[in-house]
Amino acid sequence: MQIICFVDADHASNQIMRRSHTGILIFLSRAPIIWYSKARNTVESSTSGSEFVATKIAVDLTVALRYKLCMFGIPLDGEANMFVDNQSVALNATIPSSTLKKKHNSIAYHRVHEAIAACIV
């Protein structure tokens, strides 16, 4: 079984409150099994910040799915493929020396980076 995850965040999509919206779609062998869509509770100051938070949520959902599948004894084909549409997030997640100024963005970065280093995603 192969896990494929698509992640997107719409930065400041709410015209009144300027909150971002997160969308995640996870496929298991070409069948959609997890769909996540939520308006964020906080206001992000940058597009990459909202994308990092969305990617962290996707990593958490993917880790939970991998754990459930392993508990059921279902074999997985390597790491999960995760697709994001923000190039700065994709590059920063793979650079160990990347620094982020905001604490919650830094936590999201480290969670995503650890998942990449552990070959989970």
CB 40 within 8 A of CB 50: yes
Mean pLDDT value of segment 15-29: 82
Report angle CA 41, 45, 46 to the nearest 5 degrees: 110
Would you give the end-to-end CA distance of the chain in angstroms?
14
pLDDT tens-place string over residues 95-106: 666 656 666 677
Mean pLDDT value of segment 88-93: 66
At 18 the pLDDT is 67
**What pLDDT band is residue 94 in, cutting at 50, 70 and 90?**
low
pLDDT tens-place string over residues 33-88: 999 988 777 666 666 677 888 889 999 999 999 999 999 999 898 899 999 887 66
Mean pLDDT value of segment 15-38: 86
**What pLDDT band is residue 13 in, cutting at 50, 70 and 90?**
low
Q: What is the DSSP letter of 23?
A: E
